[in-house]
Amino acid sequence: MKRKVREPVYSISELAAEFDISPRSIRFYEEKGLLAPKRTRGNQRIYDKRDRARLKLILRGKRFGYSLEEIAEMIGMTADDKEEVEQIEASLAYGERKLKEIQERMHELRLLEQDILSVRKKLMKRLEQLRSDAT
């Protein structure tokens, strides 16, 4: 008879330590409906590997600048119960918007860099003139 292999479970403090976040952050994601851990008889939260994977996706989404609502939709936590194809399409659409924002910011930064370099060049030229006039 095969024994059922038990899936690993994690406490809130273990996940918090692993991802270098506070337990309060994890509870916040639970309050927002992004995580749904099981509970022990003593009412302690028990996270399985699916919860751990979701937390990893949440944190990655935040790092990429997505809102919690966008993250919820992308990881399939919205009330709509979207099919996987719809989830992927939504994720791609959010990704395209984020990529466009990044490209626009990069363009603005390049323009700013050009302006700063131009001003620096003028200031250096003026500084040279002042130094040569003083000698």
Q: Quick one: the chain helix, strand, coil %, rounded to 5?
A: 65, 5, 25
pLDDT at 27 over 90: yes
Domain boundaries, the chain: 7-80, 82-135
pLDDT of residue 132: 93
| Confidence grade of residue 81 (pLDDT, cut at 50, 70, 90) | low
Question: What's the predicted TM-score (pTM) here?
Answer: 0.67
Starting at the earlier edge strand, list the strands of the sheet with 45-48: 9-10, 45-48, 38-39
pLDDT of residue 96: 93
**Using CA atoms, how far apart are residues 119 and 123, in angstroms rounded to an integer?**
6
Tokens found for residue 112: 């700013």
**Rounded mean pLDDT, 12-29:** 96
Mean per-residue pLDDT of the chain? 89
Beta strands 45-48; 9-10: pairing state? antiparallel
List pLDDT tens digits, range 96-132.
999 999 999 999 999 999 999 999 999 999 999 999 9
pLDDT of residue 82: 62
pLDDT of residue 3: 66
Query: CATH: 1.10.10.10, 3.40.50.1100, 1.10.150.390, 1.10.1660.10. Which one for 7-80?
Result: 1.10.1660.10
Burial class (CB in 10 A: 0-12, 13-18, 19+), 28: middle
**Using CA atoms, how far apart are residues 125 and 96, in angstroms rounded to an integer?**
43
pLDDT of residue 18: 96
Burial class (CB in 10 A: 0-12, 13-18, 19+), 126: exposed
Do 46 and 40 form a contact (C-beta atoms < 8 A)?
A: yes
pLDDT of residue 83: 77
pLDDT at 91 over 80: yes
